[in-house]
Amino acid sequence: QIFADSKDASNAVAQEIADLIRQKQKEGKPCVLGLATGSSPKTVYAKLVKMHKEEGLSFKNVISFNLDEYYQMEPDSIHSYHRFMKEQLFDHVDIPKENYFLPDGTIPAAMVRDYCTSYENKINAVGGLDFQLLGIGGNGHIGFNEPGSLINARTRLITLDHSTRAAAAMEFGGLHKVPRKAITLGVAPILSARRIVLLAWGERKASVIRGAVEGPVTERNPASYLQAHPDVSFILDESAASEL
Ligand code: GLP
């Protein structure tokens, strides 16, 4: 779906999420959301906060799991995705503290494998993801599943691509300060979500979007794996769609 600009697009995505939350509320069920970081979803979260404040949209039945976190990373660091999510969404809505989860960037190396399995188990224990929100890296990564990630990749510790670290260098105040690793939800658990929405704004995403949508399904562009999913939308502004 191509929108005139990212604001219109974000409002439509926020509306879909709000409708899902309300529908689950009516059914007396939790709404299990997979959430993403990066600049792209910020406008979606801003709209959801607005809907909470103005329309009384409640997040009490929301259980959320974020895609990824840098490793090593303290949750209260200004660069952590924990902090990002609190600032963009959690601190402004009524989601109970015990209902949101992000990968723990402080887990000791020897425990990471078991920890990743338990993160996936937690998602399954609440019935799996109803909705997964995604951004896309300039190299096609989803979460931090970098090129080379297989379609059956599980949640794991991954070494970040140079291009991913370079894209984050400004924010961190230098390439040498960007962590070399991250914990990411795997490709397989992402594809297990019942509904997936990927957001991309701006011309710098145009070529990777073309590859993901029209190119072959390949580990060189992990977002191309989404072609195999039965209920996925790419929500684009005109510039991100300009090479389709
Ligand atoms: C990071 C995140 C991804 C995100 C990507 C794109 O690498 N781990 O989940 O999709 O950035 O970010 P942006 O939306 O800022 O372009």
Mean pLDDT computed over 133-157 = 98
User: Among 10, 40, 82, which residue has the most ligand 1 atoms within 8 Å of its CB, making it the best to mutate?
Assistant: 40
Packing angle, helices 42-55 and 81-88, rounded to 10: 40
Q: Is the pTM of this model over 0.90?
A: yes
CATH number at residue 125: 3.40.50.1360
Q: How far is it, in rounded angstroms, from Cα 55 to Cα 41?
A: 20
Determine the longest span between alpha carbons in the chain, in angstroms.
Answer: 49
Residue 116 belongs to a domain:
yes
Residue 119 belongs to a domain:
yes
- pLDDT attached to residue 22: 98
Mean pLDDT computed over 153-177 = 98
The model's confidence at residue 202, banded by pLDDT at 50, 70 and 90, is very high
Paired with 31 in beta bridges are 62
- pLDDT attached to residue 4: 97
Catalytic hit among 54, 55, 98, 146? 146
DSSP, collapsed to helix, strand or coil, labels residue 80 as coil
Split into its structural domains, the chain has a count of 1
Q: How far is it, in rounded angstroms, from Cα 160 to Cα 164?
A: 6
Q: How far is it, in rounded angstroms, from Cα 65 to Cα 39?
A: 18
Average pLDDT value for the chain: 98
Report the pocket of ligand 1 as residue ranges, CB < 6 Å.
36-40, 67-68, 135-137, 143-144, 164
Residue 244 belongs to a domain:
no
The whole domain housing 136 covers: 2-237
Where do runs of H (alpha helix) occur along the chain?
6-27, 42-55, 81-88, 112-125, 162-172, 187-191, 206-214
- Nearest CA, atom 1, ligand 1: 38
State the distance from the centre of ligand 1 to the C-alpha of 22, rounded, in angstroms: 28
- pLDDT attached to residue 112: 98
- pLDDT by residue (tens digit) across 102-112? 999 999 999 99
Residue 243 belongs to a domain:
no
Mean pLDDT computed over 44-62 = 98
- pLDDT attached to residue 1: 98
Q: Is 146 a catalytic residue?
A: yes
Q: Within 13 Å, how many C-alpha atoms sit on residue 22's CB side?
A: 12
Residue 76 belongs to a domain:
yes
Residue 242 belongs to a domain:
no
- pLDDT attached to residue 81: 98
Instruction: Please check whether residue 176 is in contact with residue 165, taking contact to mean a CB–CB distance below 8 angstroms.
Output: no
What contacts 78, CB < 8 A, 6 or more positions away?
Answer: none
- pLDDT attached to residue 199: 99
- pLDDT attached to residue 204: 97
Complex ipTM: 0.93
Where do runs of H (alpha helix) occur along 31-160?
42-55, 81-88, 112-125
Ligand 1 atom nearest 134 alpha carbon: 10
- pLDDT attached to residue 116: 98
Residue 48 belongs to a domain:
yes
The model's confidence at residue 232, banded by pLDDT at 50, 70 and 90, is very high
The model's confidence at residue 163, banded by pLDDT at 50, 70 and 90, is very high
Residue 104 belongs to a domain:
yes
Mean pLDDT computed over 35-51 = 98
